[in-house]
Amino acid sequence: MRYISTRGEAPALGFEDVLLTGLAADGGLYVPESLPHFSLEEIRSWRGLSYSELAFNVMYPFVDDAIPADDFRKMLDETYSVFSHKAVAPLVQLDTNEWVMELFRGPTLAFKDFALQLLGRLLDYVLEKRKQHVVIMGATSGDTGSAAIEGCRRCEHVDIFILHPYERVSEVQRRQMTTVKGENIHNIAVRGNFDDCQRMVKESFGNQSFLGGKTQLAAVNSINWARIMAQIVYYFQASLALGGPDRSMAFSVPTGNFGDIFAGYLAKKMGLPISQLVIATNRNDILHRFMSGNKYEQHQLEHTLSPSMDIMVSSNFERLLFDLHGRDGQAVKKLLEDAAKGPVSIEDYRWRHARKLFDSDAVDDKSTCDTIREIHEQNEYLLDPHTAIGVRAARNCRRDSSVPMITLGTAHPAKFPDAVAESGVTVKPQLPAHMADLFEREERYTVLDNNIAGVQEFISKHWKNA
């Protein structure tokens, strides 16, 4: 399997190099040169498999020239054995043909664990094989940071630097990052927003001279192809649990950076019958404005009750644009250059092609709270604010009530107790036993100004071989 850049100017790479490179040399994102495709008969034969067995079938075509099958199976078994539910991604029914897929049963209580627990093991495997050291640099709007630290903290060949927006993540999210002990773990609170953090990461990948040529950066954000690859699996899992592939499914995906829903788009291209994908956003609604009106325009970022989606620059959207433009890297490059200057649209026929699969909705804080309260009153089931946005968007955008609608439950409600309290629900969500003492643990993090030079200087001084 070879991987190419969405901007068409970087060399094609194999899986190992894509894993370690993150952002392509031309500023683009790596995607497979071609996708594996599974027949309905083949997908049907996967009924009854464990999650790790299913994950092997879905993902191995992406890595088969880099990792022996037995080694990859072992990685997957280890990855998903740490999840707290035997089904790994269990389904909970809310109403007739309406479901939530709980993707928060991993060690950090968020869907990011599905990819980042695996990514840590992949990095360890490849870096040990190459006898190479890397510096992980990532930006988080809340959940990626803790999942990346948890997934990579035992890796012998990495130093981890995670940027989060200062005072813009929930206390649980922050403490999950800042209370993990390890000399190779560094949390940086940036006086800015997530887009500022993400911009610094992208610019640093584009020019790594601040590392003095002694090491290289590796990505844990969803620009890393391995993140997307791992997220494809649970679309297959949900479908098989509810009668697929003999019936089509619809999914509602709370998303800010577009990675999780792009994985669903790929699942469909790989042969899984999916009739609808709903982009569920909060007030930071650039994706909704594009999908509903063909206008891609950045607005001022707003702070909401769903901080993991407080994102205005959706990196993975570039991967969809690449497909919509017939995989023409030059066209994508020009479009994104124009988008940096002002509003852009794509040709109407391209936009209408996207609308055949995608719908979208933007849900404000009031509607988020209303949904948390309504679902709790109806089912005694507690949603976190991001999943609540997914449920509300699913109900607002649903095309066909006979098609199962599955909302991806992206985080545990205990990560957002303030949002739950604001909804009027009096039940306080409890952290699971392994996090019961979270608020008693010592925190370690450094607050830095919104200045890339200062952040790069900090990294250059604090990685282990500096």
DSSP 68-88: -HHHHHHHHHHHHHTSSSTTS
Rounded CA-CA distance 247/235 in Å is: 13
Taking the C-alpha atoms of residue 100 and residue 89, their distance in angstroms, rounded to an integer, is 10
Q: Which CATH architecture has domain 88-110+227-422?
A: 3-Layer(aba) Sandwich (3.40)
Separation of alpha carbons 180 and 150, rounded Å? 8
Angle at the Cα of 256 from the Cα atoms of 253 and 262, rounded to 5 degrees: 55
274 sits in which H/E element: strand 274-281
Please list, residue by residue across 160-196, b when 16 or more beta carbons sit within 10 angstroms of its beta carbon and e when fewer do: bbbbbbbebbbebbbbbbbbbeeebbbbbbbebbbbb
- d(CA 329, CA 443) in angstroms, rounded, equals 44
Helix %, strand %, coil % of the chain (to 5): 45, 15, 40
The position carrying tokens 């071989």 is 465
Domain boundaries, the chain: 88-110+227-422
With b meaning 16 or more CB within 10 Å and e meaning fewer, what string describes 305-316? Answer: bbbbbbbbbbbb
Amino acid at 301: L
Nearest to 79 by CA among 59, 100, 61, 99: 59
Number of Cβ atoms within 10 Å of the Cβ of 379: 14
- Catalytic residue, candidates 112, 202, 268, 333: 112
Place of tokens 């389904």: 91
Q: DSSP strand E in 75-184: where?
A: 91-95, 98-102, 134-139, 158-165
Cβ proximity of 280 and 389 under 8 Å:
yes
What pLDDT is stored for residue 465 in this prediction? Answer: 67
The rounded distance, in Å, linking the Cα atoms of 131 and 129 is: 6
Q: Rounded to whole angstroms, how far apart are CA atoms 211 and 218? A: 12
- Rounded to whole angstroms, the Cα distance separating 188 from 395 reads 38
Whole-number CA gyration radius for the chain:
21
Q: How far is CA 195 from CA 150, 174, 318, 406, in A?
A: 23, 17, 16, 29
DSSP state letters, 228-258 = HHHHTHHHHHHHHHTTTTSS-EEEEEE-SSS
Question: Buried b / exposed e across 31-48, counting CB within 10 Å, b at 16+?
Answer: bbeebbebeeeebeebee
Give the amino acid at 224: N
Q: Report pLDDT for 23.
A: 87
CA atoms within 13 A on the CB side of 40: 8
Alpha helices in 3-111 (DSSP H): 15-21, 40-44, 51-63, 69-81
pLDDT in tens, 145-196: 899 999 988 888 999 999 999 999 999 999 999 999 988 999 999 999 999 9
pTM of the shown model:
0.93
Q: Report how far residue 457's alpha carbon sits from residue 461's, in angstroms, rounded to the nearest whole number.
A: 6
The pLDDT tens digits of the residues spanning 101-146 come to 999 999 999 999 999 999 999 999 999 999 999 999 999 987 888 9
Type and span of the H or E element at 147: helix 143-152
Backbone CA torsion sign across 190, 260, 112, 211:
negative
The Cα angle at residue 50 between residues 46 and 53, in degrees rounded to 5: 70
- Average pLDDT per 10 consecutive residues for the chain, totaling 466 residues: 96 95 91 97 98 98 95 97 96 98 96 94 94 93 88 90 94 94 94 94 93 92 92 98 98 95 98 98 96 94 92 92 98 95 96 98 98 98 98 98 98 95 95 93 97 97 79
- Contact criterion met (CB below 8 Å) for 19 and 122: yes
Assess contact for 236 and 58: CB atoms under 8 A. Answer: yes
Tell me the two tokens of residue 42.
């083949």
* Sheet architecture: strand order including 249-254: 91-95, 98-102, 405-409, 249-254, 274-281, 358-362
Contact between 224 and 19 under an 8 Å Cβ cutoff? The reply is yes
The reply to whether 129 belongs to the active site is: no
